[in-house]
Amino acid sequence: MSKNGEISSTERLLDQIRGNSDSQRIRAGIAPSSGRQAHIKKPFLPKITSSKNVISVGIDIGYTDLKLVKISTASENKVELTGYREIPFGSEMSVEHPGFPEFLKTALVAFCGTLTKVNLWCIMSSAMVEIRYLRIPKVPKKQVANAVYWTFKKSTPIDEKEQIFDFFILGELTEEGTEKIEVIAYTAPKQDINGLKHIFVKIGLPLTGITTVPFSFQNLLKTGWLKTEASNVCNLYIGRDWSRIDIFARDNLLLSRGIKAGTQSMIETLREELNSKQILIDSQILDSNNTPIMASADETSVIDTDLAKKLFFALIEEDIQPKIQKSEIDIRALVGMDITPDQLFDMFLPALDRLGKQVEKTLEHYTLNYGQGRVGKIYISGRLSTDRRIVDHIGNQLDLPRETVDPFHPPLPSTVKARLPEYESERSKYAPAVGIGLSNNTLTPNFIYTFSDKEKKLHINRINRLVMGVSLFLLVICMGFFSWQGVMMQQKKNQIARLQQELDQGASYLDQQFLQLMAAKIQGNKKTLNTYSNKYLGLSVITELCTVTPESIQLISLSTAMNAPAEKEKKVNKGKGEDKTPEEKNILNLDGIVGGDLQSSDAVLAEYVLKLKASKLFDKPNIIHQSVKYLDGKKVLRFSVRLEII
């Protein structure tokens, strides 16, 4: 789909949400599909094909428009601005509108195509965000969070049910010989954060991060996108109902203060001055004798806020009517008075001066309390930064070099793949979106990825690395064992092959004479073993009897019959009809008595016989005789056992 077609689909969705006609849409401030988007080069990255680059989309949701910036980061030194877009949605649409999520999804898809592997960063209003620069004593890493929390709470209350608390470590320093840690700590309303998260989750495009405008400007400084030679700079963001003063030292945000003074206060001041002048003019009505008389209240024309607002922005924004110079604005047609642009500027100058005094007090407070020196430069951002007279007036009031925040001012530290906006006012309003597009969790405080989340992830990563290390260690051991097994197997195979070769080579020597010599040698060894066996047989028998005979059994006598024939068993050799001579055995006869209770004597004797049978020296124990006898006036069980010596 072409780019114009994508924008047209977004606008059609807006029309369906509002239920307005084309004419109503134009009055609401929505440009035609062939209008203000034509300055962006094609193609607008309809699909993300590079897996190496990190694609980030900065999202700035304003009161009446949506600004998107797309930045591709291949490395720290290779950043590409691949696109930007502004999509107006009129004052009747807001974040709380039921149709806003679908409008947002359509706009993002039209801007980036498929949103796989894209980091979405969104700006949240900083009106309710409290930011504090802290220095805490250097403590162990596990105690840093606790130290920051209680140091912050001393000066600023924390409602843990309604606010998130987080901090960002800037670095370490030595103060009066004591090592300390520099920290930026902040609180932000949970309701606003969760509401913004819910919108993106609802459309299936979860956010990577949420931060606020001061940290967006910090990104511009830290990445070198906005270059400055001053070590201390101030950014004055002039908003609609409020303004914010942010002071940076060494590209780090140290002081952030919100004040209730902005564009609206200047418009109200202008309206009051115009009404005062109008009433003064209308009150001087001449009578028939040319005598001035006061007019009635009904006859005075009062200038309302909308008219004052229209006149105010017609005065300061050159891109509303690019072909008309400011001096050519027909003020009389708007208010019915002959007033020059310089006179209009002077009318809201008191409100601008009040804002400048607030900035001056803040700079003095910073110089006295932060020990970083004086601020060397001030940046003006916001819608009013397009008027050079306002910028110069603030700079002259503060006696500081001044500059507007132009994120597209060449030379950029990046490759630009989109044609830059023509007018300064159109370029400056993209500053927050560009800054948020440069965000990452290492560089930028993230309201949905806090310090505790980082610690949890770090703990999980440590466990994963430990598991991976143990797994690799075990894998190395297994591989080593497998290799050793392979070596051993090969050695065994070599040994088998060698033995087989020796066997094959020595098979011819296994003749009858060799076998007879080997048999004679074996017989000689056998006789020697029998000699030693017979020599120590008696001692072995006595030792074994002492081992297996319990205390309850007393042996009276023992006798042996060496080489006695076993009981004759005539076994017929089948097929030959010959008797087989019984094998000669060594016989042992035991006589003894069983002491103790007579009733258990049989069991003791049976257990003794089983022990004799279990012995490795005796075999086939057999009770020849047992009877009850008197010994010392007591009945005892006398027995005779016959067994073979193995």
Q: Provide the percentage of residues in the chain whose pLDDT is more than 90.
A: 33
Model pLDDT for residues 328-358, shown as the tens digit of each residue: 456 666 666 777 778 888 889 999 999 999 9
Condensed to tens digits (0 to 9), the pLDDT of residues 616-637 reads 888 888 888 888 888 877 888 8
Check: CB of residue 84 under 8 Å from CB of residue 407: no
pTM score, whole prediction? 0.64
Helix (H) or strand (E) holding 131: strand 130-137
Please give the CATH topology (third level) of the domain spanning 534-567+580-645.
Alpha-Beta Plaits (3.30.70)
Q: Answer yes or no: are the C-beta atoms of 75 and 223 closer than 8 Å.
A: no
Query: Do residues 122 and 66 lie in contact, with contact meaning Cβ atoms separated by under 8 Å?
Result: no
Provide φ and ψ at 265, rounded to 5°: -65, -35
Nearest Cα residue to 126 out of 258, 225, 290: 258
Q: According to the model, what pLDDT value does residue 151 have?
A: 93
Q: Tell me whether the omega of the peptide bond preceding residue 43 falls within 30 degrees of 0, making it cis.
A: yes
Task: Judge contact between 197 and 210, C-beta under 8 A.
Answer: yes
Please tell me the predicted confidence (pLDDT) of residue 594.
86
Mean of the per-residue pLDDT values of the chain: 80
Question: Which of 157, 148, 68 has its CA nearest to residue 113?
Answer: 68
Provide the CATH topology of domain 3-124.
Nucleotidyltransferase; domain 5 (3.30.420)
Triad 69, 72, 77: Cα angle to 5°: 120
> Before 137, cis peptide (omega within 30)?
no
Angstrom distances, CA of residue 626 to CA of 329, 592, 601, 621, 631? 142, 10, 11, 14, 15
Residue with more model confidence, 285 or 353: 353
Which amino acid type is present at position 108? Answer: L
CA distance 361 to 260: 15
Residues 638, 629 contacting (CB under 8 angstroms): yes
406 pLDDT above the threshold of 60: yes
CB 615 within 8 A of CB 591: no
pLDDT tier for residue 144 given thresholds of 50, 70 and 90 = very high
pLDDT value of residue 413 = 59
Euclidean distance between CA atoms 500 and 523, whole angstroms: 28
β-partners of residue 132 are 185
pLDDT band at 582 (very low <50, low <70, confident <90, very high): low
Q: Point out the least confidently predicted range of 343-347, 400-404, 480-484.
A: 343-347
Residue 387 corresponds to which tokens in the numbers above? Answer: 């008027």
Local confidence band at 513 (pLDDT 50, 70, 90 cut-offs): confident
Domain ranges (residues) in the chain: 3-124, 130-190+211-259+379-447, 263-350, 467-502, 534-567+580-645
pLDDT band at 278 (very low <50, low <70, confident <90, very high): confident
Q: What pLDDT does 300 receive?
A: 46
